[in-house]
């Protein structure tokens, strides 16, 4: 009887130990995936901040000419307000919308600069436009990296057996993809829950 009890307790101990290790491993994997999404999102925020700084510099440099383009100037002003509000809200949906509005305003601003010979001939503006092109590329890469992290996270929380641990530890909500189309038509794509 004692030998059977020892064996039973040993088996139970091994099962509890293995269960604890699996639970800890799954939890840590979920935390890592969640933190990677947050890290990639921070990369987008950093790129958006840098882009807005460049827009400020470009608007300041081309300011006298923008007075004649009140619609573009108003778009830039509205986009800045929307971006500031989005950052304050902390909502990725708001940030995506603000990013799209800023991209539209930036496109209009760059069109004015390119169509105005006095502006396109100013070296400071030419340099800022080159820096803006580089920043837009970095922002595009940041968005792509974020979406890759979201895809990994969203797939992770839906796979068995991790779905059990995701629900147990509050990781069951999918993260939104960062998806924009040209102009003001913005699409926030959420994965379909299975």
| Domains of the chain in sequence order | 23-168 (1.20.1440.20)
pLDDT by residue, tens only, the chain of 194 residues = 688 888 888 888 888 888 889 999 999 999 999 999 999 999 999 999 999 998 888 888 877 666 666 788 788 889 989 999 998 998 888 888 899 888 888 888 888 877 877 776 778 888 888 898 899 999 999 999 999 999 999 999 999 999 999 999 999 899 999 887 544 333 333 333 33
What is the tally of helices (H) and strands (E) in the chain?
7, 0
> Rounded to two decimals, what is the model's pTM?
0.79
**Rounded to a whole number, what is the distance in angstroms from the first to the last CA of the chain?**
49
- Contact (CB, 8 A) for 109 and 72: yes
């Amino acid at each position: 009887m004692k030998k059977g009890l020892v064996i039973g307790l040993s088996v139970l101990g091994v099962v509890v130990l293995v269960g604890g290790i699996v639970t800890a491993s799954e939890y840590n994997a979920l935390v890592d995936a969640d933190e990677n999404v947050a890290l990639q999102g921070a990369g987008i925020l950093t790129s958006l901040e840098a882009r807005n700084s460049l827009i400020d510099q470009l608007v300041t440099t081309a300011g006298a000419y923008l007075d004649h383009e009140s619609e573009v100037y108003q778009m830039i002003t509205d986009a800045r307000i929307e971006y500031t509000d989005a950052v304050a809200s902390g909502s990725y949906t708001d940030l995506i919308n603000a990013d799209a509005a800023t991209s539209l305003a930036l496109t209009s601003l760059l069109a004015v600069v390119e169509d105005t010979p006095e502006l396109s001939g100013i070296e400071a503006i030419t340099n800022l436009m080159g820096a803006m092109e580089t920043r837009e590329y970095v922002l595009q890469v940041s968005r792509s990296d974020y979406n890759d992290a979201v895809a990994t996270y969203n797939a992770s929380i839906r796979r068995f057996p991790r779905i059990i641990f995701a629900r147990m530890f509050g990781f069951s909500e999918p993260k939104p993809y960062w998806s924009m189309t040209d102009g003001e038509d913005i699409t926030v794509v959420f994965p379909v829950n299975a």
